[in-house]
Structure 1
């Protein structure tokens, strides 16, 4: 895939990362519970190289925070930057470079992303004296996000397969 097409796909991932959570919030569905920003990153990662997926994952929460005020820029969007960057890179690398099964890639990406979120929370509280207990934050993020993780396990593989077939997208 040429660089222009890859960058357009990356921009589309970011745009969907702003649009999907906005739709969720307009319908009064909690983003903290259903994790709508994660869906475009995880799906889009299948159609770009790992580095484009990483950049799209990193920029999406920051762009959303600046454009919509959700999530709050610091510390939440800042922390999500690391989580979604790792989601994107891991998902793309496993699917496109290692040719791992889509469900295995998704589960590994979800674990890697949440691990990055936890590490970012620990570092952020240490460096910036943020009033945030990283362990309680992670416990809350995981428990609150369980419905969103279930939604990801249901929708992401279906959406990737549907986009691959119907739009004849070439994967990353």
Structure 2
């Protein structure tokens, strides 16, 4: 379900009149982070790996190398760290979110430096900071505002309706 939501959000965002709407609003990040928080580290990791690849198969975007592959590492990290820090370590959800965002961006930078090194793209520290923090600032702010309230709302619905909780 989270993979499908991420792919649909990415398709919707593509039509917005922004230069690179996906890089600005980060539509795939929100469902993957939610997956980690709600379903745990294993499903968050798996959803993060699969989402860019499936999106590429469906729409041709993101270009699989080097962009999609570096996104696979980044999103997998978001999903895993969110699930691990929240469900396993029982950290405050805001701390878990901040840890996920920071560690995911570090992984994105390392993966980008390696993968872009095999292509004709130059990926240095300046490009990393611009892509991961400056261009993505609106998406980061959206994540900081909506992720935890969504997690709490989903958990409340699960509790009220006695739905099974995933502990992976």
TM-score (normalised: structure 2): 0.88
C-alpha contact 2:35 2:43 (8 A) present in aligned 1 = no
C-alpha contact 1:47 1:92 (8 A) present in aligned 2 = yes
Could you tell me how far 1:27 is from its partner in structure 2? 4.2
Instruction: State the partner residue of 2:24.
Output: 33
Instruction: State the partner residue of 2:8.
Output: 19
C-alpha contact 1:96 1:171 (8 A) present in aligned 2 = no
Query: Residue 99 of structure 1: SS of its match in structure 2?
Result: coil
Residues 98-117 of structure 1: pairs in structure 2 closer than 5 A:
98-117=89-108
Query: Residue 62 of structure 2: SS of its match in structure 1?
Result: coil
Instruction: State the partner residue of 1:164.
Output: 155
2:45 counterpart of 1:57: no
CA distance in structure 1 between the aligned counterparts of 2:121 and 2:14, rounded to whole angstroms: 26
Instruction: State the partner residue of 1:136.
Output: 126
Could you tell me how far 1:90 is from its partner in structure 2? 0.2
C-alpha contact 2:40 2:82 (8 A) present in aligned 1 = no
Greater helix share, structure number: 1
* Structure 2, gaps ≥5 residues long: none
For these two proteins, the number of residue pairs brought into alignment is: 160
Instruction: State the partner residue of 2:35.
Output: 44
C-alpha contact 2:52 2:72 (8 A) present in aligned 1 = yes
Runs of 4+ in 1 over 3 A off after TM superposition: 26-29
- Please tell me the root mean square deviation across aligned C-alpha atoms, in Å: 1.6
Could you tell me how far 1:115 is from its partner in structure 2? 0.3
* Structure 1, gaps ≥5 residues long: 1-11
